[in-house]
Structure 1
Amino acid sequence: MIRSRDEPWIRVEDASAIGATRRAATALAEACGFDEHDRGRVAVAVSEAASNLVKHAVEGTMLIRPHPEADAAVEVIALDKGPGIRDLTRAVRDGYSTTGTLGLGLGGITRMASVHEVYSLPGRGTVVSMCFTATDEPPPPLRMSGLTRPIGEEVVCGDAFAYVEDGGTAVGLLCDGLGHGVAAAAASREAVRVFQDHHDLPVTQLLERIHRALAGTRGGAVAIARLDRERGLVRYGGLGNISGWIVHGEGRQGMVSMPGIAGHQRSRLREYEYALPPRALLVLHSDGLSDRWDVASFPGLPARSPVVVAATLLRDAGTRRDDATVLAMRTAP
């Protein structure tokens, strides 16, 4: 089972942040068993990405964390709010740079990473996802990924997510603990604990167990999606204001949650079944993101990897007035 952890985003807005990101990445690579040569490769790529953010970006941030599904791998996500890259093919050529773009060094970054992905919209910003491994084997492609970001300067996020893959079935949980800070995080972690022990239960039974378990906590909003990739179906149930969406190339469809607060008050719990369009994506997010985002304003995003989808929505729909969490689930077998 994969679960969220409190992983700090690093603001990369001045030159002092370049060293901070390099040290964080090198320390994590060493902890993951990278040798000196590979630690150097990670350090150079992360320093270059941070330098790009400082020189050319607006509101640049970076997340450096262990790869969620590989033991000896480092995942790095860099995102910003502008100016974007107008010609990505030219930008990834080593040495290419144009004022107002993030072209400088991007070719070297993508060459040094074991796996990389770049999603950029002119005038909107860029998301760069990189993964580094300590072996010659690339990490497994992720069919699910999530990101959390605490409110303001908080270190602990009151939201949490978890997911598990079991053959052709995948189950995802998102919990938004009431409020923020340590007490909200305690509620979310309790929901994750119950999910870990009982994720094979039907959706409504699992929601009921979580509701009872959260009675001794502040409580929170909870949603669960059980995805059957072989049959092209999702069973969804929620309590409170978690947003659940079926996203595809033509738009999105909302999934229904019931009103209430898990642990304190609820109406009748219900499970809804939805047929999935081909190549769809499931997106769950807390109310730290506005639900007014329009998939049509993100050309090609539904076809991107779950981590790039999550990062893009966190950047563009997330607010700084609340904890924010996104969980993206690929529906294809």
Structure 2
Amino acid sequence: MGAVAVSRASGLVDGGLWFRLEESSAVSAVRRAAQELGAEVGLDEARVGTLAIVATELASNLVKHADEGRLLVRPARTGDVAGVELIAVDSGPGMSDLTRSARDGHSTAGTLGIGLGAIARQAGFLDMSSVEGRGTVAVAQVWPGPAPTAASVAAVSRAMSGEEVCGDGYATRVVDGGLQVLVCDGLGHGPLAAVATAAAVQAFRTAPAGPPAAVVEHLHRGIAYTRGAAVAVAQVDDGQIRYAGLGNIAGFLLDDTSRRGLVSLPGIAGHQRRTVREFSYPASPGALLVMHSDGVVDRWSLDGYPGLRGRSPQVVAATVLRDAGTRRDDACVLVARA
């Protein structure tokens, strides 16, 4: 799923549309966007109604209880099945006990109260992380039927303050049975950066099957007509991560005891490069691959978030974006579980 492919009817992009939840009027805007997207991806009337409930509850909670509430509405796809994903992010006050907060009737400042219970019953998939003083991230999905198996990879992107489009992007594909992922950062920001990223995503999707270094070479040739981009491609195989990059895409491999940086070479895909090199890293079962653009400060750590390593890739990515992303640049975070 690329972050810059425009959907036809709603004006949303696959990377999604972010809403600021500071006033009650924003709740209806979120609900309408979710309903429109639900109809577009093929949800029936009943499921669109369910989606409206979930969107309303999430958005209302952000307005009532949260600091700096944001909500992302975007398509969710697996194979030929499409649904809608909602990611609610805030910067506090957070919850100390998610299980207790999920009980209907329990509502204090900073909790979803009865709304969380309704979301849990209506959504096909719900995952959350919350830390007192830091805030909450909640991911809810509504599908046309039972929720598919939870994804092992997800990414979240957003444009810098004042921009309509995001110049950072991502894509995933399966190559010879292995998961291959791309994170790219179009040079600069705004529409021309988004064009470069769209070209990189398209070149990645159509690249011949091959290892990450060969794919990066293909991207370099394929986006020469654009202003260029920083790109990194990783392949998640059994027991290892293969990685190749040009430019300032950061990559890290996290396990229970360490955080290891992955090597990208200097350059700009489409314009200037050295010989592309590929590096291989051992990956223990359950290790996390985290890749992000330079709109995310690389000094982040997951150590202060109890249980976060075990949450869904969407929750991990949105948490890193919230707490390490800057507003002065586009930002993108991708998380994959080995």
Q: Residue type matched to 2:209 in 1?
A: D
Give the superposition deviation at 1:213.
Answer: 2.3
- C-alpha separation in 1, matches of 2:117 and 2:189: 40
Q: Residue type matched to 2:170 in 1?
A: F
Q: Residue type matched to 2:124 in 1?
A: S
Q: Which residue of 1 aligns with 2:98?
A: 88
Asked if 1:22 corresponds to 2:31, the answer is yes
- Residue correspondence of structure 1 range 229-240 to structure 2 within 5 A: 229=238, 232-240=239-247
Give the superposition deviation at 1:176.
Answer: 0.3
1:247 to 250, 254, 258: 254
Q: Which residue of 2 aligns with 1:196?
A: 205
Secondary structure of the corresponding residue to residue 97 of structure 1: coil
**Contact 1:171 1:199 (C-alpha < 8 Å) held by counterparts:** no
Structure 2 residue ranges without an equivalent (≥5):
5-12
2:63 to 51, 54, 63: 54
- Residue correspondence of structure 1 range 55-204 to structure 2 within 5 A: 55-69=64-78, 71-135=81-145, 137-166=146-175, 168-198=177-207, 200-204=209-213
Flag the 1:160–1:280 CA change in 2: closer, same or farther, 3 A: same
- C-alpha separation in 1, matches of 2:163 and 2:63: 23
Secondary structure of the corresponding residue to residue 67 of structure 1: strand
Q: Which residue of 1 aligns with 2:221?
A: 212
> What does the per-residue CA deviation read over 1:214-241, in whole Å, with 9 as the maximum and x for residues that have no partner?
3221111110101112xx1111011111
- C-alpha separation in 2, matches of 1:103 and 1:86: 13
> What does the per-residue CA deviation read over 1:270-326, in whole Å, with 9 as the maximum and x for residues that have no partner?
110100123101111000100000121222222111111111111111111000011
Give the superposition deviation at 1:199.
Answer: 5.2
Give the superposition deviation at 1:38.
Answer: 2.4
- C-alpha separation in 1, matches of 2:158 and 2:222: 25
- C-alpha separation in 2, matches of 1:78 and 1:315: 11
Flag the 1:39–1:205 CA change in 2: closer, same or farther, 3 A: closer
Q: Sequence identity of aligned pairs in percent? A: 49
Give the superposition deviation at 1:177.
Answer: 0.5
Q: Residue type matched to 2:194 in 1?
A: A
Secondary structure of the corresponding residue to residue 218 of structure 1: coil
- C-alpha separation in 2, matches of 1:13 and 1:283: 30
> What does the per-residue CA deviation read over 1:88-123, in whole Å, with 9 as the maximum and x for residues that have no partner?
111001121012433352111111111101111111
Q: Which residue of 1 aligns with 2:310?
A: 303
TM-score (norm 2): 0.93
Q: Which residue of 1 aligns with 2:284?
A: 277
- C-alpha separation in 1, matches of 2:149 and 2:293: 27
Q: Residue type matched to 1:93 in 2?
A: R
Structure 1 range deviating more: 266-275 or 68-77: 68-77
**Contact 1:85 1:102 (C-alpha < 8 Å) held by counterparts:** no
Q: Which residue of 2 aligns with 1:320?
A: 327
Q: CA RMSD in A?
A: 1.5
Give the superposition deviation at 1:150.
Answer: 0.7
- C-alpha separation in 1, matches of 2:325 and 2:114: 28
Q: Residue type matched to 2:179 in 1?
A: A
Structure 1 range deviating more: 170-179 or 185-194: 185-194
Q: Residue type matched to 1:320 in 2?
A: R
- C-alpha separation in 2, matches of 1:147 and 1:108: 25
**Contact 2:2 2:171 (C-alpha < 8 Å) held by counterparts:** yes
- C-alpha separation in 1, matches of 2:208 and 2:103: 46
